[in-house]
Amino acid sequence: MRPGDAPVRTSPRDVLRTRQIRSGSDLLAARQAVRAAAVEAGFDLVGQTKVVTAASELVRNAYVYGGGGTMGITPIVAPSGRRGLRLDVSDHGPGIFDVEAALVDGFSTGAGPGHGLGGARRLVDEFRIDTAVGRGTTVTVVRWAP
């Protein structure tokens, strides 16, 4: 984060689009919605691809582990005028038992290679996981346009 970019204040009211994640085809639609929002927010092609890839990993986790959920896409503007996107990916699944472990590359309780969460974190500027065992998970990420 560069000086002048923080703090970012947004409220649930600011969420432009909330996508449901209930089926395999919703995963594709979610990717396309993030791509479109990134283009609108002035992201270059590399930035678009990074934020779309991060979103893809998070919605896939919400689908596979969380039994589905939602993704909020929020365009944000820093006090410096810099634009970005915030994504809130939520599910009401089992939660993540050990967040530190889940972020380590190669850790998976499923069939995946276990690179999703750690990879997503490296592709964004801000990354936060709120999770409660038995209640669900929300991963919030921010990426700024260049």
Ligand X SMILES: Nc1ncnc2c1ncn2[C@@H]1O[C@H](COP(=O)(O)OP(=O)(O)OP(=O)(O)O)[C@@H](O)[C@H]1O
- The binding site for ligand X (CB under 6 A) comprises 57, 61-62, 65-66, 91, 93-96, 102, 107-110, 112-118, 137
Residue 129's nearest CA partner among 103, 94, 93 is 103
Cβ distance to ligand X smaller for residue 2 or 128: 128
Binding mask 46-65 for Mg ion (x = CB under 5 A): ---------------x----
Task: Compute the least distance from the CB of residue 75 to ligand X, in Å.
Answer: 24
Task: Compute the least distance from the CB of residue 57 to Mg ion, in Å.
Answer: 5
113 binds, among Mg ion, ligand X, none (CB under 5 to 8 A by kind): ligand X
Cβ distance to ligand X smaller for residue 75 or 116: 116
Q: How many residues in the shown chain lie near Mg ion by CB under 5 A? A: 3
SS3 category, 74: strand
Q: Are 146 and 47 in contact (CB under 8 A)?
A: yes
Task: Compute the least distance from the CB of residue 133 to Mg ion, in Å.
Answer: 18
Q: Are 17 and 85 in contact (CB under 8 A)?
A: no
Helix (H) or strand (E) holding 19: strand 17-21
Task: Compute the least distance from the CB of residue 73 to Mg ion, in Å.
Answer: 19
Q: How far apart are CA 15 and CA 5, in angstroms?
A: 19
Q: How far is CA 19 from the centre of its chain?
A: 12
Q: How far apart are CA 112 and CA 49, in angstroms?
A: 21
Cβ distance to ligand X smaller for residue 6 or 101: 101
Apex CA 88: angle with CA 115 and CA 124, to 5°? 50
Cβ distance to Mg ion smaller for residue 41 or 59: 59
Residues contributing to the site for Mg ion (CB under 5 A)? 61, 112, 116
